[in-house]
Structure 1
Amino acid sequence: MVIAFLAMAASVSAQVDFDTKARFAVLMDYESGAIIFQKDADLRLEPASMTKLMTLAVVFNEIRAGRISLDDTFFVSENAWRTGGATSGGSTMFAELNSQIRVEDLVRSVIIQSGNDAAIVLAEGIAGSEATFASMMNELAGTIGLDGSNFTNSTGLPDPDEYSTARDLAEIGRYLIREFPEYYHYFSEPEMEWNNIRQPNRNSLIDVGIGVDGLKTGHTNAAGYGSVISTAQGDRRLIAVVHGLTSMRERAEEGRKLLTWGQRAFERITPYAAGAVVGYADVYGGEASSVAMVGQGEIALYLPRGSRQCLSATLNYNGPLLPPVRQGDRIGELRVFCNDQLVQSAPLYAAEDVRQGDLVRRATDALKQLAIGWL
């Protein structure tokens, strides 16, 4: 259902003018999750080594739960050594077969070196096998709310059944920054040495003067070059995804351009404070006939600097909703348009629980729905 919503027209923006060579791209406001720019954001893509962000999310959750610690050591199996080690031809930590490696060193390798062997060692050490670990990745992906992803391994090595979207990759990056700030410093380390081999951080935008401090690059021959990157300047943090590029140089350049454009060309406004009601969604058969929709925290918009021209906005949800509706359920989306072009969107959530109504309420709403169907 689409509901015209014009009350915020005085606070929204003008035409967005930006293009990128990337096949897929997203620029996200970290605080609100609002999408500032998108290009095929919801089409399936091969995530390559950006998959390792989900691997890290599972690892950090296991540490938080107390099931493992950074000081634990995991065994380097023959599978990890052959699939992800020096003989594999891919990115590697150069872990020695049958050695024991601390979890912290494995984590640093996954982040800095993109070590496939390190990712597999973590997966096997936590879950016993990569397949079982992939199930944990998918379970967490569902919890985070990733709608377009499926993971089959911890590395991102090519598999036709493994896929994600640019939007989901940005959401994983946002989740890691928000939920695990105590580990985020690893992403900005410039290099790592293991087995007497020193390797630089594969994110070449670290320390180039635009505030980039994470997160992860990826590449396969079929998918091309991609990255999930974040920058913080002042009180503003952006997360960018670019993918499907032809070289490391092009990947770095397109990522830099997108982030720089987002920081310089836009100003941030907050038309809705945390907890402010954006609108209401109809509920049929519930104790209440509607439920308030709110943002996840404040809803922020990025607008071209100096521009407060009016736009249209809509509330979108698949309705009427059916109970039970639980507080925090994602039930809709605020979409902001300029001249009928979508320029930003932000997810909306149920502000309270709505339980199933009594028999009279359910019957009344059923008759209403039937009557509408006859019109």
Structure 2
Amino acid sequence: MTASDPRPQRPAPRRGKSSARGALALLLALVLALAPSAAQAKPGPTPSKEYTSPPLDNGRPAPSFDARAYLVGDLDSGRLYASHDPDRRLAPASVMKLLTGVTLVDVLSDKRKRYTARPADSSVDGTKVGLMEGNAYTVDQLFHAMLMSSANDAAFALGNAAGGQDRALGLMRAKAKQLGLTGTVPMTLNGLDAPNQSMTVHDLFIIARAVVGSPYLMRVIGTQTYTFPGGKDPRTKKKVKPYEIQNHTKIVGAYPGGLGLKNGYTIAAKGSFVCAVKRGGRTFAAAVLSSVPNPRQPCMDLIGWALNQRQAPEAGTIDLSAARQSGSAPPSSEPAPSDPGAPQVGQGPGDKGAATPAAGPAGDAAAIWSTAAALLVVIVLIAAVTVLRRRRRRPEFSSATNAGNGADAPSGAPGAGRGPRADYDRGETTEDWDRED
């Protein structure tokens, strides 16, 4: 080709391709090496298919299912038949309401006392019974809403009726100390996710014993349907008729000797459940934390399996002496607000500093998200290098023809501006898993 050749000259080959590839490969290896992987995180339950009840005959092993912690045992003697990580601190979700109930049942001794709902009651997240500002509700009605349908607004209102959220939490921490709970740190009355809030299945078993020892709480928990009062809607000024609420635990009437107790779910806590059965003069309870969204059946299968064992396996014993006596008097060691020794926010009974749950759902999720973020960075870099290489392949004289066409500009991502759904106590408010919690 001569100097007068009118054809455009091909751009000289660029020597940076191989070096760019090498740099990209090195960067990828570095990012993957530094990023915490799911395997490096504390091992959790392996995702499995939908739970199917196994044979529960005498001599069979205990049911196996996805849960970070669980146990089953005799609620009269405290003898355990099976357990897994019973002292691991995990987010409790709505089973925290059992401690709320055990604490406030004697503090609010007059169940006919009326409480007038405030705006803050109805502004809480998650499941609600529908308290309306300015309307009066009895303590008994609030207990039914909290323990039957897991109403977060009712739990909040009970705290206010007991003197406010801070005082109620102080009472709960004192009650936890009185019961001998070692891994329970209440930060909310309703169990919604909060920093440093934790519970163990060991403690949940003790709480279950205290609940079973309260005739009033068991009467509420054993109620299957309840008519909740209506009132005047402050927004529309219209009258709302009374309506029926149901028991979300669905144990009483569904299982022979079923006593009920409590279910729970949040995205961080996953599924939690505590159930109790009295059969043949024996009372058994099972507790599950950080499990499948609805661990009702696994929980009940643990009890069914334990009842079928002729010789109790050796799995330890839990001291229930304090729980047996807890119904006789309210907690007597409530710290005064000005007491320098009182547990502060994030500090539970017996803790010198903030109580941080052991690496659980939140910790594992953080590791996974860190890995995902690192991979996303690598993908973006690969995409950028690919686009750059394509642009470099084009002849110099044609680069202007695509100017301004937006080829390299991302179009609006679908769902832009939409964040993840704040889904609390999922089964209590939505259609998920048969409307169950």
* Fold-level similarity (TM above 0.5): yes
Deviations 1:198-227 (A, max 9, x none): 332111232123322121111101111111
**Structure 1 unaligned regions, length at least 5:** 1-13, 268-301, 304-335, 337-342, 350-375
348 and 256 in structure 1: CA distance in 2 versus 1, 3 angstrom threshold: closer
Conserved? CA contact 2:63–2:298, under 8 Å: no
Q: Is 1:158 aligned to 2:199, yes or no? A: no
Equivalent residue number for residue 121 of structure 1: 157
Q: Partners of 2:302 and 2:62 in 1: how far apart? A: 12
Deviations 1:143-177 (A, max 9, x none): 01001111112111110121110110111010121
Equivalent residue number for residue 253 of structure 1: 297
More strand by share: 1
Q: Partners of 1:266 and 1:77 in 2: how far apart? A: 54
Instruction: Supply the AA of the counterpart residue of 2:99.
Output: M
Q: Is 1:19 aligned to 2:38, yes or no? A: no
Q: Partners of 1:106 and 1:346 in 2: how far apart? A: 32
Q: Is 1:345 aligned to 2:345, yes or no? A: no
Q: Is 1:40 aligned to 2:85, yes or no? A: yes
Conserved? CA contact 2:62–2:82, under 8 Å: no
| Secondary structure, counterpart of 1:183 in structure 2 | helix
Conserved? CA contact 2:186–2:198, under 8 Å: yes
Equivalent residue number for residue 192 of structure 1: 226
Conserved? CA contact 1:69–1:103, under 8 Å: yes
Instruction: Supply the AA of the counterpart residue of 2:135.
Output: S
145 and 348 in structure 1: CA distance in 2 versus 1, 3 angstrom threshold: closer
347 and 173 in structure 1: CA distance in 2 versus 1, 3 angstrom threshold: closer
Deviations 1:319-346 (A, max 9, x none): xxxxxxxxxxxxxxxxx5xxxxxx2234
Conserved? CA contact 1:22–1:254, under 8 Å: no
Equivalent residue number for residue 206 of structure 2: 171
| Structure 1 runs (4+) greater than 4 angstroms displaced | 14-18
Conserved? CA contact 2:89–2:183, under 8 Å: yes
Instruction: Supply the AA of the counterpart residue of 1:152.
Output: M
Instruction: Supply the AA of the counterpart residue of 1:203.
Output: T
Q: Partners of 1:102 and 1:182 in 2: how far apart? A: 15
| Secondary structure, counterpart of 1:70 in structure 2 | coil
**Structure 2 unaligned regions, length at least 5:** 1-58, 231-241, 322-437
Equivalent residue number for residue 97 of structure 1: 133
Q: Is 1:74 aligned to 2:90, yes or no? A: no
Q: Which of 33, 54, 65 is the equivalent residue of 2:99?
A: 54
Instruction: Supply the AA of the counterpart residue of 1:31.
Output: D
| Aligned residues: CA RMSD | 2.1
Q: Partners of 2:200 and 2:217 in 1: how far apart? A: 24
Instruction: Supply the AA of the counterpart residue of 1:137.
Output: M
Greater Cα radius of gyration, structure 1 or 2 = 2
- In the superposition, the TM-score normalised over structure 1's length comes to 0.63
TM-superposed deviation, 1:17:
4.7
121 and 203 in structure 1: CA distance in 2 versus 1, 3 angstrom threshold: same
Conserved? CA contact 2:286–2:300, under 8 Å: no
Equivalent residue number for residue 176 of structure 2: 141
Q: How does 1:198-213 map to 2 (within 5 A)?
A: 198-213=244-259
103 and 346 in structure 1: CA distance in 2 versus 1, 3 angstrom threshold: closer
Conserved? CA contact 1:131–1:152, under 8 Å: no
| Secondary structure, counterpart of 2:299 in structure 1 | helix
Q: Partners of 2:98 and 2:259 in 1: how far apart? A: 15
Equivalent residue number for residue 311 of structure 1: none
Q: Partners of 2:306 and 2:60 in 1: how far apart? A: 14
29 and 133 in structure 1: CA distance in 2 versus 1, 3 angstrom threshold: same
Instruction: Supply the AA of the counterpart residue of 2:186.
Output: F
Q: Partners of 1:94 and 1:123 in 2: how far apart? A: 16
Deviations 1:41-62 (A, max 9, x none): 1101111111101110111121
Conserved? CA contact 2:250–2:260, under 8 Å: no
Deviations 1:311-370 (A, max 9, x none): xxxxxxxxxxxxxxxxxxxxxxxxx5xxxxxx2234499xxxxxxxxxxxxxxxxxxxxx
Conserved? CA contact 1:21–1:254, under 8 Å: no
Conserved? CA contact 1:210–1:260, under 8 Å: no
Instruction: Supply the AA of the counterpart residue of 2:159.
Output: A
